[in-house]
Amino acid sequence: MFELNGKVAVVTGASSGLGKDAALAYAKAGANLVLLARRKEKLDEVAKEAKALGVDAVTYQVDVTNEDMVKEAIEQAAKHYGHLDILLNNAGVAVRGGVDSLSVEDWDKSMDVNVKGIFLVSKYVVKEMMKQQYGKIVNIASINAVIADKSDTFIRHGYNASKAAVLGLTKGMAASYGKYNITVNAIGPGLFESEMTENTLFKSDEFLTMYNSLNPMNRPGKRGELNGTILYFSSDASSYVTGQFVIVDGGMNIV
């Protein structure tokens, strides 16, 4: 049920971190890849690793907030493979600051990448999925879509708002496209080891001690621990599941 042999998976933010991990998990499950990100050299490295696992992978240097770039990449990918079956909307940014200190530019950056990016990539991928009457769309939201934190370390109001918007978009898309046999679900990661966090939160022993003391599993998420949920939503194991939001945070949201 979790096999993806012959499927094509589009992954945004695929050049590093959770996006790279997910792309390689797709490859191990048998899916061919369409890798999108701004850093072409990093993307090509991921593609090389994927091909070593026996699948095909194509890369496109894309800013997900640029409609022309997104449109061209998706059209080229659809032409290359003939079909697009899975979309993992993973690209995102986390800008620190509350409404009292955030600049308009930082607010717009959060909304553009985290929400507009999902809209634009989905806009062109879903058209291909509607043609074939099949598709699996997985949006990466965040635990911070539903809970916040008063700690100065975690004040990210633009991030809170944008990730909450991802949940609304997920439900809207799921309701509209279910009749085309397209499922749309969201995942809310807690704190994970990634390129985004390793040089910030993971460098603070004080923060990690505090976080671990509050987390039922007493630790952040490890690389690869998000992949099981991603593969579930991306495979036929979840064929009758749509519009849902699963939090993967070691139980942080329950305490």
Residues 66, 58, 46, 163: is their CA dihedral positive or negative? positive
Residues linked to residue 60 through DSSP beta bridges, in sequence order? 36
Q: How far is CA 176 from the centre of its chain?
A: 21
* Catalytic residue flag (residue 159): yes
Cα 95 from Cα 106, distance rounded (Å): 7
Nearest to 186 by CA among 234, 149, 223, 220: 234
Nearest to 72 by CA among 127, 124, 135: 124
Cα 20 from Cα 44, distance rounded (Å): 11
> 93: which residues sit within 8 A by CB, 6+ positions away?
109, 110, 113, 114, 159
The residue with tokens 């978009």 is 169
Active-site residue among 60, 124, 159, 211? 159
Angle of helix 104-111 relative to helix 157-177, nearest 10 degrees, comes to: 30
Cα 58 from Cα 211, distance rounded (Å): 38
Cα 145 from Cα 189, distance rounded (Å): 10
Dihedral angle, C-alpha 174, 178, 180, 181, nearest 10 °: 110
The residue with tokens 């939001």 is 245
Q: Which residues are catalytic?
A: 159
